[in-house]
Amino acid sequence: MKLKKKRKSEFSAISISRITAGRYREFSKKISKSHTLTLELMMDFFEGANISPKNKYLMDHMGFEHRLNKRFDYIEELLRRIEREQLKPTHNKLKKLFEYAENEERDRKESLEFEKRMFEQSLKKDRITQYDNYILKENWKKERNKLLKILNQVKLEKPRFDKAYFKLDINQNDLESLKKVLGQEL
C-alpha cells in the first residue's frame, strides 16, 4: 500500500499582468495571510452584497457619490476661505472695538474711584486734602476766566485835554448779574 501525502488544497495558476499581480500582492498583505483567502473574502463580499462591476446603476450611483463628495469638498473650501478672508477681519475689528470699550469703562471707573477717595478725604475737617485743593484750583480757574472776560471789556480812553482813563464797556444787565454773583459768594 502506497501512502500519498495529502495536500491541504490544490492550486491552479491564473495568468494576470505583472502590474496587476503586484497590486494584488500588496492589497493581499493588508487583508489576510494568503492570496487565496484574500480572493475568497473579496468574492464572498461581492456575492453577499450582490454587487457587480457591470451593474450600470451601481456604477452611476458610485459616480454620483464621487461627484457629490467633490462638491462637498468645494463647499468646505469655500466656507474656509470666507471665514479666513471675511469673518476674521470682522472678528478682529469687533474685538478691538470691545477692547476699546472695556478700556474706556476701566478708565471711567478709575476716575470715579479717584473722585470718591478725594471726596472722602475732604470729609476730614482737620486738614486740607487733595480733593479740597483740586476743588480750589477748579474754582480759581473759573474765577480767573470771569476776570479775564471782564478785563477784555476794559478800554483806554484818551480825551484831548484831560488825563487818560480806563472805561469798562459792560451793559447794565451784565453788571447787575455780576453784582449778584459777587454778593452771593461773599
What single letter denotes the amino acid at residue 126? Answer: D
Domain ranges within the chain, ordered by starting residue? 16-51, 54-151
Residues 6 or more apart in contact with residue 50 via CB below 8 angstroms: none
3-state secondary structure of 168: strand
- Predicted pLDDT of residue 186: 47
| pLDDT number for residue 1 | 45
Residues in CB range of 169: below 8 A, 6 or more apart: 153, 154, 155
- Integer angstrom CA distances of residue 134 from 44, 108, 122, 147, 155: 95, 18, 10, 20, 34
Distance CA 132, CA 78 (A): 65
CA distance 153 to 108: 39
Would you write out the chain's pLDDT as a tens digit for each of its 186 residues? 455 555 566 778 888 899 999 999 999 999 888 888 998 988 888 888 777 777 777 778 878 888 899 999 999 999 989 888 888 888 888 888 899 989 999 989 988 888 888 777 767 665 666 777 788 888 888 888 888 888 888 888 888 888 888 888 888 888 888 788 777 754
Q: What are 110's three cell numbers?
A: 478709575
